C-alpha cells in the first residue's frame, strides 16, 4: 500500500477535486453571493469564478501536495517546454481537425442553447479577455492534473502503458459526466489523442494548447453565431 501511495493520492485528488469543484460552483450560497456582489454582471462572474476554482482544485492544490508529500514521484519534465517542433506539428494538426468541426457545430441551435457559457447579451472586449484568460488558467490546471500528474504517476507507479491510459481515460470521462452524455463520449477519443501527443512530445503542452484552442474557438464561434449574444467593442 505504501508503494502505491502516490498513485492512490493522485486518484483521490482527481475525484475529490472535481467533487469539490462541482459542489461549490453549483451551490446556492455561491450563486447567491455572485448575484448579490455583481448584480447585472452576475452571468459573467458565475462562469469566471468557477474556472478559478478549477485552477485551485485541479492545479494549485495537487501541485502543492505532490511537491510536499511525493516530490520524487512527480516528473517535472512534463511541465518543461522541449521538442518544440513536435509540439507545433501536433497542435497545428489537431486544430486543423478541430476548428472546422466547431465552426459547423457552433451554428446549431442546440449548441447555442449552452454556448458561449457566459450568458451575457452584450460582451465587451474586457469580458472577452477575462473569459479567455480564465479558460487558459482552468485548462492549464486541468491538463496538469490529468496528463501532467495522473499519467506520469501511473507510469512511475509501475502500471503498464495500457493500464495507465485506461485509468486516465476512465477518470477523464467520469468527470465529464455532469456535462452530459455527448461530452462524456467526446472526451474518450480526444483524451486518447492528447495522451498520445503527451507521450510523443514528453510534455503536456500539446494538451494545453489544443484544449485551449478547442475551448476558445468554440466560445468565439458560438459568440459570432449567437442571435442574442454579441460582442460590443465599447466598454460599459
Task: Determine phi and psi for 230, rounding to 5 degrees.
Answer: -135, 160
The region of weakest confidence among 38-42, 70-74, 102-106, 127-131 is 70-74
Contacts 24+ apart (CB under 8 A), 149-152: 149/10, 149/13, 149/62, 149/66, 149/74, 150/10, 150/11, 150/14, 151/195, 151/198, 152/74, 152/75, 152/78
pLDDT over threshold 70, residue 14: yes
Share of the chain above pLDDT 90, in %: 75
111-133 mean pLDDT: 94
pLDDT over threshold 60, residue 117: yes
pLDDT for 182 equals 81
Task: Please tell me which residue, 183 or 211, carries the higher pLDDT value.
Answer: 211
Mean pLDDT of the chain: 91
| Contact by Cβ (8 Å): 123, 232 | yes
| Contact by Cβ (8 Å): 155, 169 | no
pLDDT for 233 equals 58
Question: Can you tell me the distance from the alpha carbon of 212 to that of 209, in angstroms, rounded to the nearest whole number?
Answer: 5
Question: Can you tell me the distance from the alpha carbon of 108 to that of 120, in angstroms, rounded to the nearest whole number?
Answer: 19
**pLDDT digits 0-9 by tens, 31-88:** 999 999 999 999 999 999 999 999 999 999 999 998 888 877 776 778 888 889 999 9
pLDDT for 3 equals 64
CA 137 from centre of chain: 8
pLDDT for 225 equals 95
The region of weakest confidence among 61-75, 115-129, 206-220 is 61-75
Q: Write down the domain spans for the chain.
A: 5-231
pLDDT for 72 equals 76
pTM for this one?
A: 0.92
Question: Can you tell me the distance from the alpha carbon of 209 to that of 10, in angstroms, rounded to the nearest whole number?
Answer: 23
pLDDT over threshold 70, residue 236: no
**pLDDT digits 0-9 by tens, 162-178:** 999 999 999 999 998 88
226-234 mean pLDDT: 83
pLDDT for 67 equals 86
Question: Can you tell me the distance from the alpha carbon of 183 to that of 165, in angstroms, rounded to the nearest whole number?
Answer: 19
> How would residue 139 be classed by pLDDT, with cut points 50, 70 and 90?
very high
Amino acid at each position: 500500500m505504501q508503494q502505491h501511495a502516490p498513485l492512490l493520492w493522485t486518484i483521490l485528488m482527481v475525484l475529490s477535486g472535481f467533487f469539490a469543484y462541482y459542489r461549490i460552483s453549483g451551490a446556492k450560497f455561491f450563486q447567491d453571493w455572485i448575484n448579490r456582489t455583481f448584480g447585472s454582471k452576475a452571468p459573467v462572474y458565475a462562469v469566471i469564478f468557477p474556472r478559478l476554482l478549477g485552477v485551485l482544485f485541479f492545479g494549485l492544490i495537487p501541485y502543492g501536495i505532490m511537491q510536499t508529500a511525493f516530490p520524487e514521484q512527480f516528473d517535472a519534465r512534463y511541465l518543461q517546454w522541449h521538442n518544440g517542433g513536435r509540439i507545433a506539428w501536433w497542435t497545428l494538426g489537431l486544430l486543423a481537425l478541430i476548428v472546422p468541426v466547431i465552426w459547423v457545430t457552433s451554428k446549431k441551435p442546440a449548441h447555442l442553447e449552452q454556448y458561449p457559457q457566459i450568458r451575457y447579451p452584450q460582451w465587451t472586449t474586457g469580458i472577452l479577455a477575462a473569459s479567455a484568460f480564465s479558460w487558459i488558467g482552468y485548462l492549464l490546471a486541468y491538463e496538469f492534473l490529468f496528463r501532467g500528474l495522473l499519467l506520469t504517476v501511473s507510469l512511475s507507479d509501475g502500471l503498464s502503458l495500457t493500464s495507465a491510459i485506461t485509468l486516465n481515460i476512465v477518470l477523464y470521462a467520469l468527470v465529464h459526466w455532469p456535462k452530459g452524455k455527448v461530452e462524456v463520449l467526446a472526451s474518450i477519443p480526444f483524451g486518447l489523442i492528447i495522451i498520445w501527443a503527451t507521450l510523443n512530445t514528453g510534455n503536456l503542452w500539446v494538451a494545453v494548447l489544443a484544449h485551449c484552442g478547442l475551448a476558445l474557438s468554440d466560445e468565439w464561434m458560438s459568440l459570432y453565431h449567437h442571435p442574442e449574444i454579441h460582442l460590443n467593442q465599447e466598454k460599459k
